[in-house]
Amino acid sequence: MPLSKLAGKASMSENQAPNYRYVGRRRRTQEDGRFVTGRGRFVQDVQLPAMLHVALVQSPYPRAKLVDIDVEKALTSPGIVAVVTGDELAEHVSPLLQGIDAPGVRSLPLAHGMVRYVGEWVAVVVAESRYRAEDAVELIEVDYEELPAVVDPEMAMAHDAPLVHPTHGSNVFLQKNFSWGPVAEDFAAAPHQLTYRVRWGRSSGVPIETFGVVARWQESQGILDIWASIQMPQYQEQVASALRLPMNAIRIHNDVDVGGSFGTKRGIKQTVMAGYLARKLGSPIRLIEDRLEYMSGGDAHGPDRIFDITLAYDGDGVVSSMKMRALDDLGAYPSRAVQQLGKPMTALCGPYRLGSMAYEAIAVATNKTAQVPVRGFGQAPTNYALENGIDRIARHLDLDRREIRRRNLIRHDEFPWKIPSGSNYDSGDYDAVLEKALDLADWGELMRWQAAQREEGRLVGVGLATCLEPGGGNNIYEHMLNEKIQVTGFLESVLLKVDGQGGVTVAISTHTAGQGHQTLVATIAGEELERDPDSIRVVHSDSLQALPNRGPVASRMAIMAGTATANAAKRLKARMVQIAAHDLGVAVADIEYADGEFSVHHEPSRKLGWNEIAFIAHRQLHRMPPDMEPGLQVLQVESVPGGGKLPDEKGEVQIYPCYSFQAHVSVVEIDRTTGSVRLCDHVVAHDCGTVINPQIVRGMIIGGIGHGVGAALYEKFDYDAEGQLLTGTLFEYNLPSVREMPPVRDIEHCTPSPLTSHGQKGSGEGGYLGAPAAIATAVNDALAPLGISIDELPMRPGAIEAVLHAAKAAT
Amino acid sequence: MKETEVSIIVNGRRRSARVPPRMTLIDCLRDAFGLCGSHIGCEQGACGACTVLLDGEAVRACLIFAVQVEGQEVTTVEGLAADDGTLSPLQEAFWNHHALQCGYCTSGMLMAATALLAENPRPSEDDIRAAIDGNLCRCTGYQQIVEAIADAAEQAGREGEHV
């Protein structure tokens, strides 16, 4: 491999948007120009006068009592301004919000009384330079009384396990059972049941930029200015609460470019720390984690999950029901990441026609770095677990892996399809997408090739997996895990305005981490207004100017900001038509708009230009319709389609609104001696509805597959039995390089969503949701002739070599 | 700590500063010279985000002290475009192919690719992969980067330009 027959095939696409002028067209992005010239503005580029720098003292122990911290020597070190410990902070800062009801957890930026994981912050040093601050870190003497740690999540559930938070009384922070539909009846009626366990390793987003924040307190205004590398809904309010400030005292500068996040950059403790120091010291504070600080004590770690699943199915392989138990190792604090057990409820059964399902979500604390959200918010592990089961049924019944999926996929004519937990899938054509992937991969030829390779004794495998990508971000699952959270609104907004010279500006309310929001918004505004998108300026409002928003999480910006932009543009255009009609003395219905001109129907010589109407609206009020607001601006706030409701009496509720779909085929070869996996080929067929910008969508999907390669084969925050982190640098935590990436071939399919402005759905997560499942099943397919399989990610060479060795020894 | 005068020719212009001997080249470029286009990802030589050209060779600016390059020529991403702002063929190709997302690794990628094409104007795909295998990108999966570099080489070859 690559198969010579296939190597020449380029990626394919179909033009799904023939009626659009800009949407779906291949156009350069607005953003890339500044990055290729080195003119991005990241948080590390924010330089303020008299700025002070922070370095961190971190715990070397996974669990210990903090007996004493001696900072005297550090304070006499040159250039040192201050040292702050947890005792001081506990007096002035309120505990950080947790994602579940856990009053026994007191989480502060600095450890107080006890350390709970290797890397936990124990003290901060503030100095005139980062170099000086690091010098002083070495001089701080911390007296720890080491305590036994709890590392294994199942052992953490034992009644005699050491407690991570003694005041909570247990290491179990969440244990919730859900049941939707006739689970018992479906299981009783099913001829077959299959029970299995799979494990998703502690991998994550791990962007190339670590987290950083710059904070400046302006005493005269009572405003804390924040520049941060951030991706966090409710960031402003959580920082404000912890610092005991009103929310409108926090100004987040959303125009900072974020150097990758993939869900992870939550930044609350870092920002609270920097904000506290900025107020205390009266100087701007820069807290940029270095790679070591980030990997052990930052927003680095992702889901770490054990699945125990039982599937009920018949002799044809048709699955009727599922019982899933997901046990997640949270690390030392629940934080918001615990909610990653909640989102999968919006697509627990994937693209399959299950009639009922039961779900047990368990989250336990251990003495590891706390988790943060990661791309897909729990959906990638869940999809891996589900697809593993579908393949097991195929093996049990000796069914073709394509055929079992065809028999279970929701059919094109069945949408909207309501799954047992209450979500309606909006649209899809799963069979067509699957067939496109199989055609592009040339499945029949692959099977012949594989047989020939196996004849020669080579370990080659072909993987097949599908995945759903829920998009839109109706986070009602937060309430399902914690009834105290009575939040049903997840908004996104834009402010669209035309200035007195006719220039179009759109203000969005969030930061961006590479998703291309400027291009998205400019393209849709350009489409609706018939203006060149490159002439439309898109700006990021700071949080005091910003409108209601939740931000770029949950594959939602094309859905939410895109639809908000389209609706704003339609309303703005309608106002311009009204002005034209009034000025030309005709009825509104008589005005036609095209290409920047408002003309009278059947009298095209009577017309007004775009800029003229803009001038009238701003400056010539005598030509305006009476009672119309002067100026040309529209504020558009969108709520998630189908949202705004609590679950009904059956526990059913619409969670996410839009569902994208992908099918992946992965081809691998395993080295018999080393156990290393070579990815020979990877094909993806994807349907995210209408594509707004083909290059952005393709980039997200291939990039997501790259992320999935890491989760499947390489990446893990590994701990030893005592709780020491073993993979705290990029030398041990292996991100895939270009060497590890297979050539990816992609093909589009378009099933528009009925819920969005142009039929668009989310596309930022699907590659990562599908690739790990496909690669894992390819590895197991390669190992199948030896009668062995691996049911834990990542499948690193050592693990594969071990099973190969064991298999050899057994023969 | 005693500071030392350092003078480096950066993007064709001599720049000088008094810096501590332990200051890395990347910190000197960013903090002393105000050239923030090169980025810091690991400070251990693992990620390649800080890659610059030192006398034409791609190096990691986090693994070199500023005082070590006294009098030498350093090229950063800010030095790739022509004086009139015309982008280099690689910069154009990265933009045309959307060979980036967040833009954080991009400067290092561009410098590694610039060094490659200077030495090997007709690289094979394997050559391209070898040239950037020390530069980590978390967003793209590398494919559009490889495509962009190949395209820039092809464009330059067609037009007989230097990249």
Altogether, the residues listed in chain A come to a count of 811
* pLDDT in the model for residue B161: 55
Q: Which of B5, B151, B85, B55 is nearest to A39 (CA)?
A: B85
Cβ atoms of B71 and B9 closer than 8 Å: yes
pLDDT at A538 over 60: yes
Question: Which residue of A lies nearest to B37 if distances are taken between CA atoms?
Answer: A38
Which candidate from B41, B100, B136 shows the least CB-CB separation from A737?
Answer: B136
Tens digits of residue pLDDT in A18-47: 589 999 999 999 999 999 999 999 999 999
pLDDT band at B158 (very low <50, low <70, confident <90, very high): confident
* pLDDT in the model for residue B125: 97
What dihedral do alpha carbons A207, A210, A211, A214 form, nearest 10°?
A: -130
Residues B118 and B57 in one domain: no
**Helix A766-783 vs helix A694-713: angle between axes, to the nearest 10 degrees?**
40
Residues B10 and B42 in one domain: yes
Which candidate from B95, B103, B142 shows the least CB-CB separation from A257?
Answer: B103
Domain range enclosing B133: 89-159
* pLDDT in the model for residue B38: 98
Residues B59 and B25 in one domain: yes
Which two tokens mark B104? 């954080």
* pLDDT in the model for residue B162: 52
Residues B40 and B100 in one domain: no
B contacts of A699 (beta carbons < 8 Å): 98, 101, 139-140, 144
Chain B interface includes A7 (CB < 8 A): no
B40 exposure class (CB count in 10 Å sphere: 0-12, 13-18, 19+): buried
* Spatial separation of the C-alpha atoms in residues A623 and A238, rounded to whole Å: 47
Partner-chain contact A32 B102, CB within 8 Å: no
Residues B37 and B75 in one domain: yes
Cβ atoms of B103 and B39 closer than 8 Å: no
B contacts of A515 (beta carbons < 8 Å): 101
Please report whether residue B16 resides in a domain. yes
Q: Which residue has the higher pLDDT, A385 or B160?
A: A385
pLDDT at B163 over 80: no
Pick the residue of B29, B38, B102, B145 with the most A CBs within 10 A to test the interface with A by mutation: B102
Question: What's the CATH code of the domain at B9?
Answer: 3.10.20.30
Residues B24 and B73 in one domain: yes
- 3-class DSSP state of A203: coil
Please report whether residue B84 resides in a domain. no
pLDDT at A803 over 60: yes
Please report whether residue B12 resides in a domain. yes
Please report whether residue B57 resides in a domain. yes
* pLDDT in the model for residue B16: 98
Residues B100 and B119 in one domain: yes
Partner-chain contact B103 A32, CB within 8 Å: yes
Q: Which of B51, B79, B107 is the last residue of a domain?
A: B79
Q: Which residue has the tokens 């090229």?
A: B75
Residues B155 and B94 in one domain: yes
Q: Please count the structural domains in chain B.
A: 2
Q: Which residue has the tokens 């010291």?
A: A281
Which two tokens mark A115? 């350390």
User: Which of A1-5, A336-340, A549-553, B35-39 comes out lowest in average pLDDT?
Assistant: A1-5
CA distances from A370 to A238, A302, A328, A363, A364 (A): 17, 8, 12, 12, 11
Partner-chain contact A735 B30, CB within 8 Å: no
Interval A76-103 mean pLDDT = 95
pLDDT band at A15 (very low <50, low <70, confident <90, very high): very low
Tens digits of residue pLDDT in A107-133: 999 999 999 999 999 999 999 999 999
Please report whether residue B8 resides in a domain. yes
B contacts of A735 (beta carbons < 8 Å): 136, 138
* Spatial separation of the C-alpha atoms in residues B13 and B64, rounded to whole Å: 20
Q: Distance of alpha carbon A425 from its chain centroid, rounded?
A: 20
Partner-chain contact B133 A257, CB within 8 Å: no
pLDDT band at A811 (very low <50, low <70, confident <90, very high): confident
Residues B72 and B95 in one domain: no
Cα angle at A256 between A53 and B53, to 5 degrees? 75
pLDDT at A260 over 60: yes
Cβ atoms of A319 and A356 closer than 8 Å: no
Q: Which of B18, B49, B79 is the last residue of a domain?
A: B79
Residues B70 and B97 in one domain: no
Which amino acid does the sequence have at A424? N
Count residue pairs from A and B with Cβ separation < 8 A. 174
Residues B136 and B112 in one domain: yes
Which two tokens mark B81? 């475009």
Which candidate from A32, A210, A700 shows the least CB-CB separation from B94?
Answer: A32
Phi, psi of A466 (to 5 degrees): -115, 165
Interval A685-700 mean pLDDT = 98
Question: What's the CATH code of the domain at B105?
Answer: 1.10.150.120
* Spatial separation of the C-alpha atoms in residues A277 and A252, rounded to whole Å: 17
CA distances from A232 to A235, A238, A262, A616, A803 (A): 5, 10, 11, 41, 41
Please report whether residue B45 resides in a domain. yes
Residues B44 and B107 in one domain: no
Please state, rounded to an integer, the average pLDDT across all residues of chain A: 95
Q: Which of B19, B47, B79 is the last residue of a domain?
A: B79
CA distances from A770 to A339, A381, A682, A685, A686 (A): 21, 10, 11, 11, 10
Partner-chain contact A702 B144, CB within 8 Å: yes
CA distances from A187 to A183, A190, A392, A398, A601 (A): 6, 5, 17, 21, 65
Beta carbons within 10 angstroms of residue A584's beta carbon: 17
- Which residues, numbered 240 to 269 in chain A, qualify as contacts with chain B under a Cβ-Cβ cut-off of 8 Å? 257-262
* Spatial separation of the C-alpha atoms in residues B18 and B28, rounded to whole Å: 10
